[in-house]
Amino acid sequence: MIGQAKGRNPGMPLDMGWVRATTVNRSATQRRVGSLVARRSVKKAWQAAWLLRAITLIDLTTLTGDDTPGKVRRLCAKARQPLREDLIDTLEAQSLGIMVGAVCVYHARVKEAIGALLGSGIPVAAVSTGFPAGQSAYAQRIEEIHQSVEAGADEIDIVISREHALRGDWRRLYDEVREMRAACGDAHMKAILATGELGPLWTVARASKVCMMAGADFIKTSTGKEPVNATLEVGLTMTREIRAYEELTGCQVGFKPAGGIRSAKDAVNWMILMKEELGDDWLDKRLFRFGASGLLTDIERQLSHHASGRYAARHHMPMA
């Protein structure tokens, strides 16, 4: 066994034999995803409990061209108190201290987010390395990581060079991610695969393995900017690689689906996938996050319906 199950992922030497042996049965993957969603149903008080847990797993995100200091401060205020006080009281959830898992911003907004979250314990994640395309000069991408770390980011979301995965140049991908992990220092690193641009599932599976071997603390589906983002088929493929990596090394690697996850139902489906494929450890923010901006509003509306029997209008759910 390499590494420690409860610590960070230290990575391991690149094992090309393990990478090349990776295959994915797409038909079986589709059947498994279909059965997973169809036969599971969470209702009433159980649904409310799952949705409260889902809030704690959200990386509340703003990654748009109109991000301003004021917008970041409003987002952070929502991160601190994601539910209205009257709803918390009705649900008798005061003792739970519900807050989101992290706030995710461009690295230029890291200091503003840290200032707005001071004392909350909520980590700040920064997207770096030429997000979202990863096409800027390599030295510049590494420098972005250093700048985000120096600004105080607790987590760094890096984007891989899709070219390396598409060409099967796994050594270059490994070396790149390894160097990015070193640049992150003590900040946890999430490696974004941009799966919608990688083609077949076996490429996604191999890229997942390589990033974990290079020391990624999380593997993440998407930037949220691709035409196709997080899908349950891709999620199943990546989580099974996480399981295989844990069996080989003893290290637990986190998973973050991002992009297109907008409804409470979506959130519950993803949580069911994590519970069934990886176990209860992955229903904790230490190992599972949603990358989302609009998801929280729908979860709050569903919880309001559970508490009152009525759906609240979206404008009654304050958001940044």
Q: What are the pLDDT digits (tens) for 161-220?
A: 999 999 999 999 999 999 999 999 999 999 999 999 999 999 999 999 999 999 999 999
- Give me the sign of the Cα torsion angle 256, 112, 114, 136: positive
How many other CB atoms are found less than 10 A from the CB of residue 158? Answer: 29
Percent of the chain whose predicted confidence (pLDDT) is above 70: 95
pTM (2 d.p.): 0.94
Contacts 24+ apart (CB under 8 A), 135-141: 138/176, 141/180
pLDDT digits (tens, 9 = 90+) for 236-265: 999 999 999 999 999 999 999 999 999 999
pLDDT attached to residue 119: 96
pLDDT band at 318 (very low <50, low <70, confident <90, very high): low
Angle between helices 26-38 and 264-277 (to 10 degrees): 120
- As annotated, the active-site residues are 157, 220, 256
pLDDT attached to residue 3: 36
Class of domain 16-316 (CATH, top level): alpha beta
How many other CB atoms are found less than 10 A from the CB of residue 88? Answer: 19
The closest of 138, 118, 127, 132 to 61, measured between CA atoms, is 127
pLDDT digits (tens, 9 = 90+) for 276-294: 999 999 999 999 999 988 8
Query: For tokens 């395309």, what's the residue?
Result: 133
CA distance 242 to 105: 26
- Give me the sign of the Cα torsion angle 69, 75, 79, 82: positive
Count of CA atoms in the C-beta half-sphere (13 A) of 151:
26
The closest of 256, 302, 1, 319 to 127, measured between CA atoms, is 256
Angle between helices 44-55 and 264-277 (to 10 degrees): 90
> Has residue 298 got a pLDDT over 70?
yes
Peptide bond into 318 cis (omega under 30): no
CA distance 295 to 268: 11
